[in-house]
Amino acid sequence: MESKTFGYGRVSSKEQNEERQLVAFREFGIDERDIYIDKQSGKDFNRENYITLKHILRENDLLVIKSIDRLGRNYSQIIEEWQDITKNIKVDIVVIDMPLLDTRKNKDLLGTFISDLVLQILSYVAEQERTFIKQRQSEGIDIALKNGTKSGKPFGRPKIEKPQDFDIVVNRWKNKEIKSKEAMKLLGLKPNTFYNMVHSL
């Protein structure tokens, strides 16, 4: 079976935009159908699209992520997942923002040691950053309460409703019956809106 390349991205909430990650995947040459995005916290790996992708991965496939914190933010779990994917499933991983983390290269003992060392350092940094963010949020809430103000979400752009035949058209697109341009035309959607809706499924 021919090996495939997949992209995995993550943002912490539905309000955040994953476009930077999508652009990086497109530039890497990854097919839109093979990009999986979760809009969920990185505290653990219990994420719908990540779990789906992991079941799809086969030996000699390639998994591409933009940065290590997009994979997750829990130090020990990142290491565990990395080992499971590379050693058990035998899939290569590329971290776009960190060229040293490319398991296709330097498969000798020294190369593996360097990759593992860099991975552990970056995973630790990702977890520390998560801890600092939580601390800053907590301090901000405390200050707001002392000042008698409430924290709230800013108003965003109104949510665009999915067209009536969205699921049917997307299924035809995923099955390669129609091209993306035709799918967008049928649904009356712009490219960014179309892809954002697809990746939020």
Catalytic residue numbers?
12
Could you give the strand order of the β-sheet that contains 5-11, starting from the edge strand earlier in sequence?
35-39, 5-11, 62-65, 92-95
The region that residue 148 occupies, defined by phi over 0 for left and psi between -120 and 50 for alpha, beta otherwise, is left
Q: Backbone phi, then psi, for 21, in 5-degree steps?
A: -70, -40
Neighbours of 78 (CB within 10 A): 23
Name the one residue in this structure whose structure tokens are 């995995």: 8
